[in-house]
Amino acid sequence: MAALQDNSARRVKDAVDIIEVIGEHVHLQKAGVRYKGLCPFHSEKTPSFTVNRERQFYHCFGCNESGDVLSFMMKYHNLTFPDAVVRLAERYGIELEESKLSPEDLKKTREREGLFAANKVAATIFHDFLLKNPAAGKARQYLEKRGMSREMISRFQLGYAPDRWDFLAQALASAGEAEQVAVAAGLLVQRENGGVYDRFRDRVIFPIFSLNGQVAGFGGRILGDGQPKYLNSPESAVFNKSQTLFGLYQNKSAIREAGRCLIVEGNFDLLSLVAHGLQYVAAPLGTALTAQHVKILKRYAEEAVVVFDGDLAGLKAAMRAVPLFLTEQLDAKIVVLPEEHDPDTFIAAFGREALEEKVAQAMELSEFVFSRLVKEHGLSLAGKNKIVRDLQPLIAAIGNRTLQKSLFVSHFSDKLGLKAEDLFGRGEGGIYPAGPSLPAKQRKQGLKLSKQYERLLEFLLIYPEALPHFLEAGLEELVDNENDFARIILDQLKDLDLVGQGDGAEVLLERLHGEEKGLVARLLIEAPSYPDDMKELLVDELTTWVRKQAWQNRKSRLLRRISQAQAAGDDVLQMELLEQKKKMDEVSYT
Ligand SMILES: [Zn+2]
């Protein structure tokens, strides 16, 4: 909970206005006491991103992202916590005594700043060399041959690293950059016996930008025949390949505008598409697509279209991406190119319109998976069994989203001539049924709370000090009539001892996950504040409701036991229970 212990963070949060900060990035409009805008974390057409000034808190009803001004900065700009604190402090002129940042955080922040700075200088050196130096002639010719105009070169700040071991090392030294920082950034490589050498030699250089526009790392393609064909910067404190997409920084507004993002594999695939006017495209960095990539894309696009190479390796990579889309719930389609083509050669040969036509005809995930599996296993009985087996991880990836799951499953059951049940949830240990025969416990997991319980929870989140009243009235007895989330939330509330803690809601949100977190965030955003007299009235009203509900629960339990005793012919027990019932009726809440 660094967030809450750190004085600097507290100071920044107290000093800035969340509406002002978020308003710099999202167009917010006042809606009652709240503000609404289009969510920056998922793609949408009607605003469901809501900010509550009074609570200094935001929540999106579409994607369930929520948090305070610092978590907004972290997510929006891909910053670490201390970086978010520093950034806001600088932007709003809040003085941070540096000693208030923990020495470790301060060191990390300084380290990252150093790496970004060294990368920026290196990108300029490579770029200038490509544009101006006679020794870069063959690199310029190479890029021209691959269709890269001068404008493309400057838009993506492409560069060239000459075929020398000390070019960058010397250039950085003359620019005053520290050697060890350049080593940490992966620009230079430390020799075992001392000294350093350039990592990138005789390569076209592609700077890779963070979403923030800082140079996080580099990719380099060899000009000659050497190996490896592509070389990337190693991971560093500012460069994480599984979270970074080439071209996303440059193309993000085009992607958002199109509402869709083409995903290609190679840097030149991406550049070639952009050069042909298709700007809604991004590329993982020579690595497989990851769940984090998909999560990031979801902020910009409603739909992803995978356009990998037409060969077997490309198809296999596309298959591996399928579960990620299913898990992250990003609509996705797959374009299958002719076997001998990649996106670069295809658009060069047939032009933009032909590729756009391919995109328009892209296959749904289920269709693509089906065609791949049939190709691999055939439709014999044995083949169908293998298909069913291979489908299990994909069905599992859909999670418990019933509608999507049944759509996906019915696609296959129709085509395989099987019953949906034969596909559904056929785990390692055999078939377990789905739908109405799920155990009662699981069926209760819907998000819906009874209206009155929701009111009570909403009240508790704002005024946790009322919890003891409700517990005393029997809250524990009725929480189990609600769903599982109600129990989780109540246990956390009890555990937190939130009374008097201004940050209680934040702590609670940090502790919750998934749907229960979404539920609490929604209630926090919606809950009104009450004047004191009104608040007391509400405590009374809600306490009475709890007491009555608990009483009714006890009574129906008792009635059940009475009829059981009657059925069993246990007269003694029956008498005893009837006596209890009489006592209960004296209180009478009915
Ligand atoms: Zn959202």
Predicted confidence (pLDDT) per residue in 122-158, tens digit: 999 999 999 999 999 999 999 999 999 999 999 999 9
CA of 78 to the centre of ligand 1 (A): 16
Tokens for 394?
């994909």
- Please compute Rg for the chain using Cα positions: 30
- Percent of the chain clearing pLDDT 90 (strictly above): 42
CA of 169 to the centre of ligand 1 (A): 45
Query: What whole-number distance in Å separates Cα of residue 182 and Cα of residue 170?
Result: 11
- CATH superfamily, domain 2-101, is Zinc finger, CHC2-typedomain (3.90.580.10)
Q: Where does the pLDDT of residue 502 fall: very low under 50, low under 70, confident under 90, or very high at 90 and above?
A: low
Tokens for 116?
């970004």
Statement: residue 300 has pLDDT above 70: yes
Statement: residue 400 has pLDDT above 80: no
Q: SS3 of 135, please? A: helix
CA of 336 to the centre of ligand 1 (A): 31
Query: What whole-number distance in Å separates Cα of residue 536 and Cα of residue 527?
Result: 16
Q: For position 426, what pLDDT does the model report?
A: 45
Statement: residue 326 has pLDDT above 60: yes
Q: Where does the pLDDT of residue 584 fall: very low under 50, low under 70, confident under 90, or very high at 90 and above?
A: confident
User: 276 or 457: which carries more pLDDT confidence?
Assistant: 276
228 cis-preceded (ω within 30 degrees of 0): yes
CA of 38 to the centre of ligand 1 (A): 8
Query: What whole-number distance in Å separates Cα of residue 162 and Cα of residue 229?
Result: 15
CA of 396 to the centre of ligand 1 (A): 24
CA of 40 to the centre of ligand 1 (A): 6
CA of 50 to the centre of ligand 1 (A): 9
Which residue is associated with the tokens 């990579």?
Answer: 317
Statement: residue 438 has pLDDT above 80: no
| Strand boundaries in 281-385, DSSP class E | 281-284, 303-307, 331-335, 363-364
Statement: residue 590 has pLDDT above 70: no
CA of 49 to the centre of ligand 1 (A): 6
CATH label, 104-239, candidates 3.40.50.300, 3.20.20.70, 3.40.718.10, 3.90.980.10: 3.90.980.10
Statement: residue 338 has pLDDT above 80: yes
For 264-274, write each residue's pLDDT tens digit: 999 999 999 99
Mean pLDDT over 244-257 rounds to 92
Statement: residue 443 has pLDDT above 70: no
End-to-end CA gap in the chain = 46
Q: For position 588, what pLDDT does the model report?
A: 65
Query: What whole-number distance in Å separates Cα of residue 570 and Cα of residue 565?
Result: 5
CA of 300 to the centre of ligand 1 (A): 10
Q: For position 358, what pLDDT does the model report?
A: 96
Tokens for 150?
């001068």
CA of 159 to the centre of ligand 1 (A): 37
CATH label, 243-361, candidates 3.40.640.10, 3.30.70.340, 3.40.1360.10, 3.40.50.1980: 3.40.1360.10
Q: For position 582, what pLDDT does the model report?
A: 86
CA of 53 to the centre of ligand 1 (A): 18
CA of 257 to the centre of ligand 1 (A): 16
CA of 41 to the centre of ligand 1 (A): 5
Lowest mean pLDDT among 80-89, 152-161, 390-399, 403-412: 403-412
DSSP 239: B
Query: What whole-number distance in Å separates Cα of residue 179 and Cα of residue 188?
Result: 8
CB 286 within 8 A of CB 314: no
CB 320 within 8 A of CB 390: no
- Single pTM value for the model: 0.65
Which residue is associated with the tokens 């036991």?
Answer: 561
Tokens for 559?
């009635």
Mean pLDDT over 11-33 rounds to 87
CA of 369 to the centre of ligand 1 (A): 29
Which residue is associated with the tokens 């090392």?
Answer: 169
Statement: residue 24 has pLDDT above 50: yes
Q: Pairing between strand 203-209 and 196-198? A: unpaired
Mean pLDDT over 423-429 rounds to 49
CA of 60 to the centre of ligand 1 (A): 5
CA of 59 to the centre of ligand 1 (A): 8
Q: Where does the pLDDT of residue 189 fall: very low under 50, low under 70, confident under 90, or very high at 90 and above?
A: very high
Query: What whole-number distance in Å separates Cα of residue 471 and Cα of residue 456?
Result: 12
CA of 298 to the centre of ligand 1 (A): 9
Lowest mean pLDDT among 96-100, 165-169, 498-502, 576-580: 498-502
**What's phi and psi for 207, nearest 5 deg?**
-65, 140
Q: SS3 of 431, please? A: strand
CA of 302 to the centre of ligand 1 (A): 11
Q: Which of 246, 290, 249 is nearest to 267 (CA)?
A: 246
Query: What whole-number distance in Å separates Cα of residue 277 and Cα of residue 156?
Result: 14
For 209-233, write each residue's pLDDT tens digit: 998 789 999 999 999 788 888 999 9
User: 368 or 590: which carries more pLDDT confidence?
Assistant: 368
- Percent of the chain clearing pLDDT 70 (strictly above): 92
Statement: residue 173 has pLDDT above 80: yes
